[in-house]
Structure 1
Amino acid sequence: MYRDLHPKFNRAFTYLKEAPLITMQPGKYEIEGDDIFLLLQEYQTKSEETQFWEAHHRYIDIQYMVQGSERMRYACVEELQQTEDFLAEKDYIVLKGNGHDFVVQEGAFALFLPQDAHMPCLYDKQPALIKKAVIKVKR
């Protein structure tokens, strides 16, 4: 259903389906150079007070929950206030404001386009160790 939204999504979703993510070590993995790459992460989910709103200019995020679950927040970029200049080397802007919560369960994903501000890494009921695959797809 999502593969046709971007010419590189088919490759990204195929990688998520075929890669042995559960046994791979955290780190950066090139899929198609800097056009598509994986950031495989393991961390403890955190409280909202320790996190911030972000949005990206150059990349689309596909955040797939390999193990565990986490709460995320979502808002349209235009509904938030920018608090820092765009950090080109890290491809994000920092924002503040209010949005909506949702939980990404193991085996599910969230898709964030450049107009989608998001605050990931939040605990749902209590902090927990999770493993997440973030596929970065160049616009």
Structure 2
Amino acid sequence: MGQLPGKDRIMITDTLQNLPRYRGLHKNLDTAIDWLQHHDLNALPNGRTEVAGDAVFINVMDADLREGEGAAFEYHRRYADLQIDLTGGEHWGWAVSGSEEKPFDAAGDIGFVAGPEQAGGVLGEGRFALFLPGEPHKPSCRTPDCGSLRKAVVKIEML
């Protein structure tokens, strides 16, 4: 199993109420936190909402959840993912490293790896997960109580 780009592995999961505590980690994360404190994610339409151009934007979607067992982990090099479930709740997985499944897509800023899950949890009910560039994560996995949801993924440029 190889190490992926990105030297730090500090995936964060917490409640949205505590999100302001993470100010100061990166200027674009600060921009996202400030925007989220003054806007209602539930009022956003599906699709992309720009907050600060390509530096911070939000993708809102309705998603059918997948089985977590055997699903690939995704990772990014340019963006952090701040994952927030608006309705329902999904399982997420996180890994320290993995084996590349196919070449990294630089235009889409996404790669996929296979490997063991080192941590996981369930979103929904006011919780978020923040995955930094280089951190393999497996979002959108089914839970016993939920097969589909509406979610927001805040994309935060970390270069």
TM-score, length-scaled by structure 1: 0.90
- Asked if structure 1 preserves the Cα contact closer than 8 Å seen for 2:62 and 2:151, the reply is yes
For these two proteins, the number of residue pairs brought into alignment is: 137
| Alignment-derived partner of residue 33 in structure 1 | 53
- 2: CA distance, partners of 1:28 / 1:116: 23
Structure 2 Cα separation of the partners of residues 128 and 58 of structure 1: 30
CA distance in 1, matches of 2:29, 2:144: 32
Secondary structure class of the residue paired with 1:37: strand
Greater share of residues in strand: 1
- CA–CA distance in structure 2, aligned partners of residues 137 and 23 of structure 1: 20
**Secondary structure at 2:35's aligned position in 1?**
helix
Q: Using the TM superposition, give the Cα deviation of residue 126 of structure 1 relative to its aligned residue in structure 2, in angstroms.
A: 4.3
Matched residue, 1:123: 142
Which string of whole-angstrom CA distances, capped at 9 and with x for unpartnered residues, describes residues 58-98 of structure 1? 1111111222211000011xx21111111011101110011
Q: 2:151 — aligned with what?
A: 132
For residues 30-109 of structure 1, the aligned pairs below 5 Å read 30-49=50-69, 51-76=71-96, 79-99=97-117, 100-109=119-128
Question: CA 1:17 to 1:68, structure 2 compared with 1: closer, same or farther past 3 Å?
Answer: farther
SS at match of 1:22: helix
Q: Which residue, out of 33, 38, 43, partners 1:23?
A: 43
Structure 1 gap ranges (5+):
none
Contact 1:26-1:39 within 8 A present in 2 as well: yes
- Residue 3 of structure 1 deviates from its aligned partner by 1.4
Alignment partners' CA distance in 2, 1:46 and 1:119: 10
Residues 67 and 107 in structure 1, CA contact (< 8 A), matched pair in contact too: no
More deviation, 85-94/120-129: 120-129
Q: Classify the secondary structure of the residue corresponding to 2:24.
A: helix
Match of 2:34, SS state, is helix
Could you tell me the TM-score, scaled by structure 2's length?
Answer: 0.79
Off by >3 Å, runs of 4+ in structure 1? none
Unmatched segments (≥5 aa) in structure 2: 1-20
Q: CA deviation at 1:119?
A: 0.5
